[in-house]
Amino acid sequence: IAHGKVERAPAWWAGAREQLLQHAQAGTPRYIYDLATVRERARGLLSVSAIDRCFYAIKANPNAAVLHALANEGFGLECVSQAELDHVFAVLPELSPQRVLFTPSFAPRREYEAAFARGVTVTLDNVEALQRWPEVFRGRTIWLRLDLGHGEGHHEKVKTGGVAAKFGLPVARFDAFLTEARKLGIRISGLHAHLGSGIDDPRHWREVYAHLVGLADNVGTIETVDIGGGLPIPYTPDAQHFDLVAWREGLDEIKAAYPRYGLVIEPGRYLVAEAGVLLLGVTQVVEKDGVRRVGCDAGMNALMRPAMYEAYHGIHNLSRLTDPAMVAFDVVGPICESGDVLGRSRLLPAATSEGDVLLVADAGAYGMAMANTYNLRALPAEDVL
Ligand code: LLP
**Nearest CA among 308, 300, 309 for reference residue 360:** 300
**Nearest CA among 366, 373, 372, 377 for reference residue 63:** 366
The C-alpha R_g of the chain, in whole angstroms, comes to 22
Q: What is the pLDDT along the chain (385 residues), one digit of tens a residue?
A: 444 445 567 799 999 999 999 999 999 999 999 999 999 999 999 999 999 999 999 999 999 999 999 999 999 999 999 999 999 999 999 999 999 999 999 999 999 999 999 999 999 999 999 999 999 999 999 999 999 999 999 999 999 999 999 999 999 999 999 999 999 999 999 999 999 999 999 999 999 999 999 999 989 999 999 999 999 999 999 998 899 999 999 999 999 999 999 999 999 999 999 999 999 999 999 999 999 999 999 999 999 999 999 999 999 999 999 998 899 999 999 999 999 999 999 999 999 999 999 999 999 999 999 999 999 999 999 999 9
State whether residue 327 is helix, strand or coil: strand
- What's domain 274-384's superfamily in CATH? Lyase, Ornithine Decarboxylase; Chain A, domain 1 (2.40.37.10)
- In contact, 280 and 297? CB cutoff 8 Å: yes
CA of 105 to the centre of ligand 1 (A): 13
Question: Other C-beta atoms within 10 Å of 244: how many?
Answer: 18
Catalytically active residues are 336
- In contact, 192 and 169? CB cutoff 8 Å: no
**Nearest CA among 79, 189, 111, 77 for reference residue 144:** 189
- Burial letters for 119-155: b for 16+ Cβ neighbours within 10 Å, e otherwise? ebbbbbbbbebbeeeeebbeebebbbbbbbeebbbbe
DSSP bridge partners of 359 = 279, 316
CA of 166 to the centre of ligand 1 (A): 14
**Nearest CA among 177, 159, 175 for reference residue 167:** 159
**Nearest CA among 6, 46, 16 for reference residue 271:** 46
> Exposure of 47 by Cβ count < 10 A (0-12 exposed, 13-18 middle, 19+ buried)?
exposed
Please indicate whether residue 232, judged by its CB atom, sits closer than 6 Å to ligand 1.
Answer: no
- Residue 229 CA: nearest ligand 1 atom is 13
Pocket test residue of 106, 269, 360 for ligand 1, highest count of atoms within 8 A of CB: 269
Please indicate whether residue 197, judged by its CB atom, sits closer than 6 Å to ligand 1.
Answer: yes
pLDDT for the residue numbered 1 = 42
Domain parsing of the chain, residue ranges: 35-271, 274-384
**Could you confirm whether domain 35-271 is CATH 3.20.20.10?**
yes
CA of 282 to the centre of ligand 1 (A): 31
pLDDT for the residue numbered 3 = 46
The ipTM is 0.99
Specify the pairing of strand 100-102 against strand 169-170. unpaired
**Cα–Cα distance, 284 to 286 (Å, whole number):** 6
The H or E element spanning position 381 is strand 381-384
pLDDT for the residue numbered 7 = 57
Please indicate whether residue 265, judged by its CB atom, sits closer than 6 Å to ligand 1.
Answer: no
**Nearest CA among 355, 273, 371 for reference residue 317:** 355
Please indicate whether residue 269, judged by its CB atom, sits closer than 6 Å to ligand 1.
Answer: yes
Which residue has the least CA distance to atom 16 on ligand 1? 366
Please indicate whether residue 276, judged by its CB atom, sits closer than 6 Å to ligand 1.
Answer: no
CA of 267 to the centre of ligand 1 (A): 8
- Residue 103 CA: nearest ligand 1 atom is 3
CA geometry: angle at 269 spanning 254 and 258, to 5°? 10
Residues near 144 by beta carbon (within 8 Å), at least 6 away in sequence: 123, 124, 125, 169, 177, 188, 190, 191, 192
HEC sequence for 247-305: HHHHHHHHHHHCCCCEEEECCCHHHHHHHEEEEEEEEEEEEECCEEEEEECCCCCCCCH
- Give the chain's length: 385
DSSP bridge partners of 145 = 192
Please indicate whether residue 101, judged by its CB atom, sits closer than 6 Å to ligand 1.
Answer: no
